[in-house]
Chains A and B, each alone.
Chain A
């Protein structure tokens, strides 16, 4: 089973700043089958990125995903107030998928 480790656990930033979230896999993720999801309190998660770098429908272009192999990054170019949330990475390249433990992006 591939273990995904997200860092940092919490990111304290101000609106307008750039956020860089990391997701490291214990083994190479096949064909960049890596997704990023956003979750706000009391809401279902929302798909942001799939295939490591493809934005889902309706996702603003301030969100971007990059990386391959074992190291992946989600970048939020300029934080908007609605971007403060918990972010999860997910690998779906093996028959048994896994999620990272999440990174909370909070207002500084």
Chain B
């Protein structure tokens, strides 16, 4: 099982970022996929979860309205888009399939 994420991003305040997570080694539609972030020197923060089978989604309350998870079942890929970025969104963003594996992480830096 592998979760491979897209590369590092540098964004300006107010912009949006879209990070991808491509799954392989298992049947994509059978496992929920989570997004988690970690700010520098901080713990893990859960952002949301997507069911690849039917596309249903739950977001953490603090990200409601600012985050969007989508999927492409033809490529076994899940996308996380975060909008209205501020410096506090500078973090490493991970995808996770509990019972399998973590992605390698994507560093997002928000700076003017």
B residues in contact with A99, CB < 8 Å: 36, 43-46
CB atoms of A102 and B101 under 8 A apart: no
Query: Is residue B99 within 8 Å, beta carbon to beta carbon, of the partner chain?
Result: yes
Given contacts A47-B100, A92-B32, A99-B44, 14 further A-B contacts (CB under 8 A): A35-B98, A44-B103, A44-B105, A47-B99, A56-B101, A92-B34, A92-B49, A92-B98, A96-B58, A96-B60, A97-B60, A98-B46, A99-B36, A100-B43
- Total interface residues in chain B, CB < 8 Å: 23
Residue of A nearest to B32 (CB): A92
Residues of A contacting B79 in the complex (Cβ-Cβ under 8 angstroms): none
In the assembly, what is the distance between CA of A97 and CA of B101, in Å? 17
Q: Are B46 and A50 in contact (CB under 8 A)?
A: no
Give me the 5 closest cross-chain CB pairs, A-B, nearest first.
A99-B44, A95-B58, A97-B46, A50-B99, A44-B105
Residue B94 interfacial (CB < 8 Å): yes
Using a CB–CB cutoff of 8 Å, the interface residues on chain A facing chain B are: 1, 35, 37, 39, 44-47, 50-51, 54, 56-57, 88, 90, 92, 95-102
Chain B positions near chain A (C-beta within 8 angstroms): 1, 32, 34, 36, 43-46, 49, 58, 60-61, 92, 94, 96, 98-105
In the assembled complex, which residues on chain A have CB atoms less than 8 Å from the CB atom of B99? 47, 50-51, 54, 56
Interface of A is mostly: loop
The complex places the Cα of A95 from the Cα of B61 at a distance, in Å, of: 11
Chain B neighbourhood of A47, CB < 8 A: 96, 98-102
Report how far A35 CA is from B96 CA in the complex, Å.
12
* A92→B85 CA distance, assembly (Å): 27
B61: A residues at CB distance < 8 A: 1, 96
Q: Is there an interface contact between B58 and A44, defined as CB atoms closer than 8 Å?
A: no
> Once the chains bind, are B102 and A45 in contact (CB under 8 Å)?
yes
**Do A46 and B102 touch (CB < 8 A)?**
yes
